[in-house]
Structure 1
Amino acid sequence: MLLHVIPFGAWAEWSAHPGLPYAPPSLAAEGFVHCSPDERAALEIADARYRDVPGPLLVLVVDETLLSGEVRWEGSEDRLFPHVYGPVERSAVTAVLEVLRDADGRARELAPWT
């Protein structure tokens, strides 16, 4: 499973178009969708890149076997991240989690989103 951090606003926009796959700006700009390999990495990304984003932060749980795009593990020798070279089909999203943050906005844990 792959994890992708997404601000609630982006989730709401995507949810408003049920026929479309998820294609964040990074897909057009960089050619891939950034993902994390595990909960620890997703929390680190949420904390480093989205700490000041107001509102809920969500995490898409993606089954990479259900993606039509290629998944490449890229990064440095000591740390690899999965990159999806194509949009994320809705059928590949198996769950949505919420990033729980402390009073200072730091990402602490993932929980089922309701």
Structure 2
Amino acid sequence: MTDCLFCKIVSGEVPAKIVRESPGAVAFRDINPQAPTHVLVIPRAHHPTAAELAAADPATLAEVLTEAHQVAVDEGIAETGYRIVFNTGAQAGQTVFHVHAHVLGGRGLNWPPG
């Protein structure tokens, strides 16, 4: 999509602090981190929500989750614990409609969030 911020990050039009790349996914630091580790993992192909990605391409959804775990390993938070969050829809807080997983960790993450 020509006006999608995350598609522009994938294409290199918009800079981002890339931490991992795989054939189907890109991981980069969130510009407004909510935890010491806050990385977004996105599919290279545009899918608006997690539900739409799951229906259209379950293998890519699995790749996004695999990359999210590898981010946690690389960031040193896999053993202590981390959270993977998909906000799906505006009411859930999704602001960029290109599916993305938030990988959060590096501090205690109480539930419920907020």
Q: Is the TM value for this pair above 0.5?
A: no
- TM-score of the superposition, structure 2-length normalised? 0.28
Name whichever structure is richer in strand by fraction: 1
